[in-house]
Amino acid sequence: MQYTEIMETASPKDTASSPFVSPGMPTLNMSGRSFSYFEFWPSWLIYLPVVIQSLAQDIFHRSITLPLLANPVLTLGGMVGAPKSELLGQAQGICKEAILDWFIHTLDTQDFADQITAIKEQFEKRQMNFPVVCKPDIGCRGNGVRLVHDEAGLTDYLQAYPENADIMIQRLADWEPEAGVFFVREPGQDQGRICKSSDDLGPIASIARGDICSIAFSY
């Protein structure tokens, strides 16, 4: 999903039937049976169990705002409508250093040429250059995430959004491959734990502290 546009430039051998593979990584064996297509199910079907579970927990604990405690420093607990910039902007120290440089551009009434000029000034300030990754500041499931190669592509991208929309523009990572780490710290605990990790080499068993806690599927 997140490699839709990268596939077009990574290698002429990449096709719809040949998933993107990070340079230097082994070729994926796609001859076996598919395990799951959950990622491509309708949003309402995927989140239906979450809503049911949340309502059940609300009734049990007699608090409709209980789910918002998952991330108390984010708008609505990060459940919905939390800007990416709100989360990334809270990073400090080595966490902040590890995040690829980014900034927010808010679309206004100026000509797109003037807005591109303002964005390029941010590029110079941050020593950034094309290609960059553009995405709506508020969004989910990779919707609106695009790899933008030049000014023309950036103009086309901005024109797809209404006035006052906040767009995050971020430096493109040159690290390979991609990995995801899920960290949990329960209330009252001084130290959290890693409950799941995944990479983009297909279905894997995610192991944390010697225990298999979940199966992760990456496409």
Each residue's pLDDT tens digit, 6-20: 333 333 333 344 555
Q: What is the pTM of this model?
A: 0.67
Check residues 209 and 55 and name the one with the higher pLDDT.
Answer: 55
Please state, rounded to an integer, the average pLDDT across all residues of the chain: 78
CA 81 to chain centre: 14
Q: Tell the CATH topology of 86-171.
A: Dna Ligase; domain 1 (3.30.1490)
Angle at 105 between CA 101 and CA 110, to 5 degrees: 150
Give the residue with greater pLDDT, 141 vs 39: 141
The Cβ of residue 78 has, within 10 Å, a number of other Cβ atoms equal to 16
